[in-house]
Structure 1
Amino acid sequence: MELAIGIALIISYIGLAIYAARGGNLMTGFFVMAVIWLFFCILGGKLTWEDGMKDILQGGPESWGATAVNVIFGSWFGKILVDTGIASKLIKSVTELGGDDPFIVTLLLSIVTGIIFTATFGAGAVVAIGVIVLPILLSLGVPKYLAVTSYLMSVASGMYLNPVLFSQMQAIFEDMTYNSEYLNWAFIAMAVQLIIIGIMLFVHMKVLNKTKRRKSWDLNLNEENVSLDNVPAIALITPIIPTTLSIAFSWASIPAFIVGSVFGLGVCGKLKGGWNNISRVVSQTFYDGVIDVASLLGFLFILPMFNKISGVAAPFFDPILGDLLPKTTLGLTIAFVIIAPLGLFRGPLTIFGAGAATVGVLSQLGSYSTPFLFTLMYVPTIAMNLAACPTQSWNLWALNYSKVSVKSFMKTGVVWAWLISAINLFLVFVFFGS
């Protein structure tokens, strides 16, 4: 019976991976999978129907309430960076600093984009900043495929430190903490990704296709609705305030986002005009921030149903997969390096795909530490899925916005994303696996 159930679960898992790779809605996909696996766990005697209703279907979404709140506040902060003109001002300053060398400007914009997304989160923020950055790069003569790839990989580079994305993963690895041990690795992982982006830009712009110098002083920043005259120089530190407070002073993420948001609004003169105006500004930006992540919130409330039932179902995999999985951290690391592209197309190595089931199986069948498994799954989720996969929502937007084909995008970025994954997975072993 257990062997038959294990085979059925694996078949359904493969079905989920295929469904996700074809662009299926993950919210409904994971709900159906949670119900299917719940049925098999009840059939196999691992769970009663009453416990399934209470602990899985009810307890799952409830357990991610804190994660959802972090996502909302992170999106609110990103909305403020855009609406106040801080993001535009920062990007314009960097563009002017780079002069008329497209390579230098693109490299600096990549670094700044990564820094912005160490705290900012949400498709809305990626789109809002993308409509500033991408026209600049295209005006400088950067090939469309390279402009899009470098921007999206830069967005992803900041996610190693981003407390919002961390909290989403933390809901799966409940005993994982955003501490100095993790941050030491995360800073290096982000630096590795930015360095590889720089090498990619150098190869494409200086070796393979020398891009001519163009003046960048008067580029259109799509800022017609935002006056940059109201953005003082001090406002440019706003993007790093939440992350700095979290890292240097061990602040919780929500107070850090609130301080950063209030600071940004205050120095840009958005908190003037009396209490009614202040309330309106705060309410409107918060509302817009929630709208930006509404679909993500739905996914976040369904995913924990599947996370919880995958832990219950894990023993069914032991007779089938128990002897196939590497027994050592080095062996598992090498396996992840080889199969890192399975983080693409919502595959089994990304949390935003079938990876939640992978976590459940690995955590039950192996004696791996939480920091090791957490970072092991984090790397392909960021370097492959968020940075180089066309099924990621904001990546798909960038391709449509810039009229870049999926083939060109993947041809440009996947090999570099795989290299980033290999290096950072090796660092996972050095920091947490040895």
Structure 2
Amino acid sequence: MTNLIIGILLLLTFFAFIYFVMRGGNIMIGFFFMALLWTIIGGISYKVAINDIFSQPALDYGSTIVVIIFGSWFGRVLVDTQIAGSISEQTIRVSHKHPIVAAILVCIVTAFIFTSSYGVGAVIAVGVILLPILESLGLPKNVSVAAFVLSVGAPMYVNIVIIKQIQLFFPKVLYGSKYLGYGFAAMIVQMLVVVIFILVHAKLIHANEEIVEEKNKNGDDILDKKSAPIYSYFIPIMPVFMNLAFGWQPIPALLLSIILALLLTGNMVSYRHCLKLINSTINKSVSDISGLLVMLFILTMFSAAAVKNTARFSAILHNIIPHNPLIIAIAFAILAPLALFRGPLMVWGAGSATAAVIAGTEFFNQYFGFALIIVPAVSMAVSACVTQSWNLWALEYTKLDPKKFLVTGVPWAWGTCALNLLLAVVMFN
């Protein structure tokens, strides 16, 4: 009876947290108070709370934070060595006689870049080049922005920075062939949805030959002035390749990729210049994710409190959460829009509580549980929500109405969620 009462109180605070976040409350503060409340309500002893909730989890998460920092640094190096920009600008060379093919190519290039690159700074650096190209090809603003951010979101299924954050809840999920097989499949599914999205809007693509030709000329000028050599274009996929081909861990794979990026772009010719670029990229990359790092440390505390309280509400959840993988996948697919606005299916928002509960109940194997959480987070929240930092930047940059953006992108993101959740049922059960 005591467990039932405590379980109900814990679930009430869970819903209060969801309400708090969706009303615009600070997520980091919310995580901290949830950790406190679940510690107190759960009757966790003082010593256990200090050591096992507010100390050790953050210390244990340090190794993951290191990977996130290196991943962010690699993304900044791709931008500042002009590799990301040069790959993007090469798409301008596609003939204006084939605007639909060109638009699809732009989206594929975007996805390729962000398999390893990460951060709002990297998205902005690429977006200021590619968004005007998409519009010049005849895509309306809402279509071009939706296609671009969906393409940025797709590779997040394999991006080490994203994976490491969600591994907090599912530590048995390894960044290796088992998960990456699903990750790349889910990425391809989302990119196929992007291609269909562009084809459906093909009638709106009216190529203006003069404008596109001018864009091509301008793009050639940019490439002539400052661009990375073509033989450096494989660098964005290098960390993932080293992991799959040779079993390398993320940090050495990222370090090798950073060194090759600097070497192949001629930034190691001068020691002073190389050192200046290294210092600059490190400063920018850490600055890009500084708030995220602190939030993740606080999140480890809440996650630890949730695990300690699993027994308190497992009896309630045992009768609520479907035990059949297909049924819960269908339920998550139907409810996928709840990932919008940092809702209860958004792991970097109110959904962190959902992730903690799914992981804590152990009703499913961790790979499937991981998929349940990452799919709505990536395909809905990252790819179609205005609360995602780079999506908000894209709206402001193009002067696109947020409502129009949501109406355009959410249905396609929703469909992607359904497909990738069903894919998880097939691959992980």
Moved more, 113-122 or 231-240: 231-240
Structure 1 equivalent of residue 360 of structure 2: 364
Matched, 1:328 2:329: no
Structure 2 equivalent of residue 350 of structure 1: 346
Structure 2 equivalent of residue 212 of structure 1: 207
1:8-61: CA deviations, max 9, x gaps? 22222112212222332211111111111111122xxxx211110111111222
The partner residue of 1:277 within 264, 273, 280 is 273
1:224 is displaced (CA, Å) by 10
Structure 2 equivalent of residue 17 of structure 1: 18
Contact 1:71 1:121 in 2 (8 A): no
Structure 2 equivalent of residue 27 of structure 1: 28
Determine the C-alpha separation between the residues in 2 that align with 1:369 and 1:26.
28
The partner residue of 1:173 within 153, 164, 170 is 170
- Cα distance change, pair 226–53 in 1 and its aligned pair in 2 (3 A): farther
Contact 2:89 2:219 in 1 (8 A): no
The partner residue of 2:159 within 118, 138, 162 is 162
Determine the C-alpha separation between the residues in 2 that align with 1:151 and 1:17.
29
- Cα distance change, pair 98–239 in 1 and its aligned pair in 2 (3 A): farther
Determine the C-alpha separation between the residues in 1 that align with 2:42 and 2:173.
27
Contact 1:96 1:216 in 2 (8 A): no
Structure 2 equivalent of residue 52 of structure 1: 49
Contact 1:100 1:216 in 2 (8 A): no
The partner residue of 1:268 within 265, 268, 275 is 265
Contact 2:92 2:219 in 1 (8 A): no
Matched, 1:116 2:113: yes
Determine the C-alpha separation between the residues in 2 that align with 1:399 and 1:186.
28
Determine the C-alpha separation between the residues in 2 that align with 1:9 and 1:224.
60
1:342-369: CA deviations, max 9, x gaps? 1212122221112222122223334311
Matches within 5 A, 1:60-209: 60-206=57-203, 209=204
The partner residue of 2:377 within 378, 381, 405 is 381
Q: When the two structures are superposed, what TM-score results if normalisation uses the length of structure 2?
A: 0.94
Contact 1:79 1:289 in 2 (8 A): yes
1:427 is displaced (CA, Å) by 0.6
Determine the C-alpha separation between the residues in 1 that align with 2:235 and 2:160.
16
Structure 1's unaligned 5+ residue stretches are: none
- Cα distance change, pair 269–344 in 1 and its aligned pair in 2 (3 A): same
Q: When the two structures are superposed, what TM-score results if normalisation uses the length of structure 1?
A: 0.93
1:322 is displaced (CA, Å) by 2.1
Structure 1 equivalent of residue 400 of structure 2: 404
The amino acid of 1:336's aligned partner reads: F
Structure 2 equivalent of residue 339 of structure 1: 335
Determine the C-alpha separation between the residues in 2 that align with 1:28 and 1:224.
48
Determine the C-alpha separation between the residues in 2 that align with 1:430 and 1:224.
49
Contact 1:333 1:426 in 2 (8 A): yes
- Cα distance change, pair 98–154 in 1 and its aligned pair in 2 (3 A): farther
- Cα distance change, pair 171–228 in 1 and its aligned pair in 2 (3 A): farther
Determine the C-alpha separation between the residues in 2 that align with 1:150 and 1:397.
15
1:240 is displaced (CA, Å) by 1.4
Determine the C-alpha separation between the residues in 2 that align with 1:385 and 1:52.
32
Structure 1 equivalent of residue 388 of structure 2: 392
The partner residue of 2:250 within 246, 250, 253 is 253
Determine the C-alpha separation between the residues in 2 that align with 1:217 and 1:432.
48
1:140 is displaced (CA, Å) by 2.8
Contact 1:132 1:222 in 2 (8 A): no
- Cα distance change, pair 363–170 in 1 and its aligned pair in 2 (3 A): closer
Identity %: 38
Contact 2:96 2:212 in 1 (8 A): yes
1:48-87: CA deviations, max 9, x gaps? 1111011111122212212211111111111111112111
The partner residue of 1:304 within 300, 316, 340 is 300
Partner of 2:9, secondary structure, is helix
- Cα distance change, pair 55–404 in 1 and its aligned pair in 2 (3 A): same
1:411 is displaced (CA, Å) by 0.3
1:7 is displaced (CA, Å) by 2.2
Matched residue pairs, number? 426
Determine the C-alpha separation between the residues in 2 that align with 1:127 and 1:226.
18
1:212-270: CA deviations, max 9, x gaps? 34353542879999975452111111211112112221111111111111111112111
Contact 2:100 2:205 in 1 (8 A): no
- Cα distance change, pair 33–234 in 1 and its aligned pair in 2 (3 A): same
1:100 is displaced (CA, Å) by 4.1
Matches within 5 A, 1:285-296: 285-296=281-292
Determine the C-alpha separation between the residues in 1 that align with 2:70 and 2:359.
30
The amino acid of 2:51's aligned partner reads: K
1:314 is displaced (CA, Å) by 2.0
Determine the C-alpha separation between the residues in 2 that align with 1:236 and 1:17.
42
Partner of 1:425, secondary structure, is helix
Partner of 1:368, secondary structure, is coil
Aligned residues: CA RMSD: 2.1
Contact 1:88 1:228 in 2 (8 A): no
Determine the C-alpha separation between the residues in 1 that align with 2:61 and 2:322.
31
The amino acid of 1:172's aligned partner reads: F
